[in-house]
Amino acid sequence: MNYQPAITAHDLRVHRGGREVLHGVTFELPGGRIAGLIGPSGGGKTTLMRVVVGVQRGVSGEVRVLGEVAGAAALRRRVGYGTQGQSAYEDLTVRENLEYFAAIVGARPEQVGEVVEQVDLGDAAGQLARSLSGGQRSRLSLAAALLGRPELLVLDEPTIGLDPVLRERLWGLFRALSDTGRTLLVSSHVMEEAARCDEVLLVREGQVLAHGTPAELTGRTATDDLEQAFLRLVEEEA
């Protein structure tokens, strides 16, 4: 296992439209594990992920990803980003979208079939992206992020809109990926999903409320589950 930190942030601040939306966030995430970015929508999860993949403007503080400064050109082959929307071409089929993204990241064409199977989109592979359901869209975005087998996967709400069976399968996939040494940063606004992560960053109103393993967080707050732990932490903050 790889204990090098995959992502480190020191006093990370983001200004957007004259307003500070991340207020001096500091954390360190080890490699080869699943880290959950958990918290309510609008709390800064997507902004934090965009900083990690290097497309966010107005960033100050220090953020390093896989040993490089976040956004460095060398990282573009090593980091895969699954956006919250589908961010695919509506007028192309699932397969055509993935064939294009595969060519761009230099992945072999055979990988397209592989990732389609991994996210269980085989039946929809020939469908136009515009005709996909919400759950299929987020899986298309996830499939695109898997192309090129990046060392770090940054996945923004990958399980949103999925039925429990599919959600279970995707978490199985995340676990399998992390078992092969890949690092995952997964966001969710569902507390229940936090329990499936190795580490949890609780994010609210542009700040990291707490950071630790699920067991540490429930232990520290003397609560039974993470939902309760989150509420307790918000109360302490207030």
Asked if 20 and 13 touch (Cβ cutoff 8 Å), the reply is yes
CA–CA separation, 59 and 52 (whole Å): 11
Q: Using the minimum distance from each CB to another protein, give the nearer residue, 105 or 190.
A: 105
Give the per-residue contact string, 2-41, with another protein (x = CB under 8 A; - = no): --------------xx------------------------
CA–CA separation, 63 and 8 (whole Å): 6
Is 164 one of the binding residues for another protein (CB under 8 A)?
A: no
Q: Using the minimum distance from each CB to another protein, give the nearer residue, 148 or 214.
A: 148
For the chain, the maximum distance between any two Cα atoms, rounded to a whole number of angstroms, is 53
Is 158 one of the binding residues for another protein (CB under 8 A)?
A: no
Q: Which residues, other chains included, contact 179 with Cβ-Cβ below 8 Å and sequence gap of 6+?
A: none
CA–CA separation, 151 and 153 (whole Å): 7
Q: Using the minimum distance from each CB to another protein, give the nearer residue, 65 or 197.
A: 65
CA–CA separation, 157 and 186 (whole Å): 7
Is 185 one of the binding residues for another protein (CB under 8 A)?
A: no
Of 33, 81, 118, 155, the one binding another protein (CB under 8 A) is: 81
Q: Contact residues for another protein (CB under 8 A)?
A: 16-17, 53-59, 71, 73, 76-77, 79-81, 83, 85-92, 96, 100-101, 103-106, 128, 144
